Amino acid sequence: MSLLTMPRDRNWIGCIDFGTALSKAALVKRKVTSQLREREIIPLPLRDGLSGNPVLLPSVIYLTDDAVLFGDEAAREAVRGEYRGRLAFSSPKQYLSTQDTDSLDEALEAEVDPTGSYTPRQLLVLFLAHLLSKAQTAAERAPAPWPVPLRLARPAWDRARARDGEKTLKGLLLCAFAVVDRLGDRLAAPKGLPHDLAHRVLAEIIELGLFAKLEQFDHVFESAPGTESASILEANAVAAGLIRRTGRRVIVVADIGAGTSDFGAFMTGLAGNNVVGEIPQSSQILRQAGDHLDMLLTRRILDEVGIDPHDQAGKGAARRLRSRQRANKEALFTDGSVTVDLNDGTCTVTREEFLADKRVQEFTQNLRSKFHATLKVAIACARHFSPRNVQTPIEIVLTGGGNRLPMVTELSANPPLSWRYVEANRELTELLVNAPGMRAVERQLAVAVGGAVQYIPQQTAPVHI
């Protein structure tokens, strides 16, 4: 039976966190949050685990002369292809956050698509099909049900982009299911998906016109209670996994990904009430995050050694540096410095030097400014609902791949406004820390896990101050 039309197991809910750098998926049993147990929260291993954590799938596609590669295989081939001036299709979610919908059907740059035959929309469909294929395999091995109704995590887009973005995400996912129907395990085969097969299947999918038939496939998606929306704000998803029956408090979420930094504030109910509400006007988004720091580090190194990335003589070195910029940033913050080889010499940048860079300081200030705006609203709410002479506590929760960046940890270590702050308890993801490999990534799983719980904070039922 077709994955598009077959019934979903409604005892479970799934969430796909289609990340800019890393994508995640999780299944959660449909029950009251406070009653969930470890075995009822299942992060799905989407990669083989040979390099990196198995639940974090690199959001990378690479087009060789012969095939489409995904994930780790795409990332490895991209490094080898740098000497030929070839680039990966990386950070694909950025197309949904920063580009007009029409641009999804435009031609890709020749460095990305040497065949000149793919559009961003087609590659997004193929990547999501690869993700769904891996999710199906992981669910079968768990064992866990598949398919289940799905929610889709999204950044804090403005209202118009959120409306159009959800339609686009739904259409992409329906097309991806249709691709899985036709290709199955071929989507995860070594050496990738041959171009002729990919184009033949994509042509068949276009004929189905799924983007115009979203209402016919409501069973594929899980709407948030009280809404018709199957997409959930990333910050809301994180907050959904924090509910516990310990009395009223305010939660401030800073979700720092690769492409965007999302902020939001929520308030729980009184003790014994398993509810949480979004605080109006608290949601903020900064379209700068981990990828922006990658770019700034690359720019600093190029400036340091005097390489012009736009000049023919410098293009090769600049491409090689860009292909490794995320790894360079991770080494910088992990080891305290990073040394790279460029042309006839080396360049070393220390963490202290990088943090003192004017552009990095501007990013840090932008990050803190957005956080300040969210925190200001959160404190106003906490003050309004505080009992006499007792401040309702605020918890600051840092999630996403950038949660350990120094300018991010400083947000909770040294908040820009004075109030009563308490240590955050990431209740649901903390159930996972005993599972192999989960402790290191539980904050990165917060969106996928929280987005799949039955009861999530609703923008339609905000907290009134």
Q: Which among 46, 140, 139, 27 has a CA at the least distance from the CA of 432?
A: 27
Q: What is the spatial distance between Cα 109 and Cα 86, in angstroms, rounded to a whole number?
A: 10
Sign for the CA dihedral angle at 113, 117, 121, 126 comes to negative
| Interval 274-333: pLDDT, tens | 566 778 889 898 989 998 999 999 999 988 888 887 777 777 778 778 878 888 898 999
Helix (H) or strand (E) holding 233: strand 231-233
Q: What is the spatial distance between Cα 306 and Cα 148, in angstroms, rounded to a whole number?
A: 53
Q: Which among 89, 177, 83, 189 has a CA at the least distance from the CA of 135?
A: 177
| Choice among 236-240, 383-387, 460-464 with the minimum mean pLDDT | 460-464
pTM of the model: 0.81
Output the average pLDDT for the chain: 86
Q: Is a pLDDT exceeding 80 seen at residue 426?
A: no
Q: What is the DSSP letter of 347?
A: E
